[in-house]
Amino acid sequence: MFHREGYKIIIVTFIIVAAIVLTADKIDIAWIKYGLQAVAVVFLILILQFFRNPKRVTPKNDAHVIAPVDGKVVVIEEVFEKEYFNDKRLQVSIFMSPINVHVTRYAIGGTVKYSKYHPGKYLVAWHPKSSEENERTTIVVENDTYGPILYRQIAGALARRIINYAEEGETAVQGEDAGFIKFGSRVDLFLPLNTKLNVQLNQTVKGGVDVVAMKS
């Protein structure tokens, strides 16, 4: 299964690759012909794997925060969140490499209280200032059990488009599709300071499945 945001790119890539393969087939020099065809096919495979959208079964629990994306936990620290909460929060950042699944999923179920896009730079996603200076979207979801959490989709050096489906006032379903970030980036979670974490630095998590935190 592929994500809807990749349909157009997949079709265009398939047409280009087919044209390269057919054109290369007319070349008499074998290593050039097969080399071009191999590169074209590998490129198609990379595009297909990037836009894959595997089905995930999310264990619904309003007291749990589920990983919103696949990737590695690269930041766990106390910070001052100044866009929405204006107080100290526990930040958990998950970095996605180009080979990770790039679907963003709702970390908790509840009501979308805030959703805003910010244009910005394209610093590498692990840069300390990328959370505030890069192109990004900020979304806050709240439920009666856990309260409000904020997650931020952040563009990286390769990511040039952030897709965000969250709209203020709508109902978010934990684990369901909340957006997409094209070609590598990260997502920051901002949680209450008394949150009980279920992850540690450098841990690999699976979006929509692994529990990042729970209400203490």
* Residue given tokens 């390269």 in the structure block: 20
d(CA 152, CA 113): 14
Amino acid letter for position 63 = A
Q: Residues of the chain with pLDDT > 70: what percent?
A: 91
Amino acid at residue number 159: A
Indicate the pTM of the whole model. Answer: 0.85
Mean pLDDT for all residues in the chain: 88
Active site residues: 185
Place of tokens 């998950």: 94
Cα–Cα dist 9/163, whole Å = 15
pLDDT at 172 (0 to 100): 96
Residue 51's contacts (CB-CB under 8 Å, 6 or more residues apart) are 2, 3, 5, 6, 9, 10, 102
User: What is the pLDDT, as a whole number, of residue 2?
Assistant: 79
For the segment 39-68, the average pLDDT, to the nearest whole number, is 89
Top-tier CATH class for 64-214: mainly beta
Question: Where along the chain do its domains lie?
Answer: 4-50, 64-214
Q: 170-205: per-residue pLDDT in tens?
A: 999 999 999 988 766 889 999 999 899 999 999 999
Work out the angle at residue 130's Cα, subtended by the Cα atoms of residues 88 and 161, and round it to the nearest 5 degrees.
120
Greater pLDDT, 129 or 68: 68
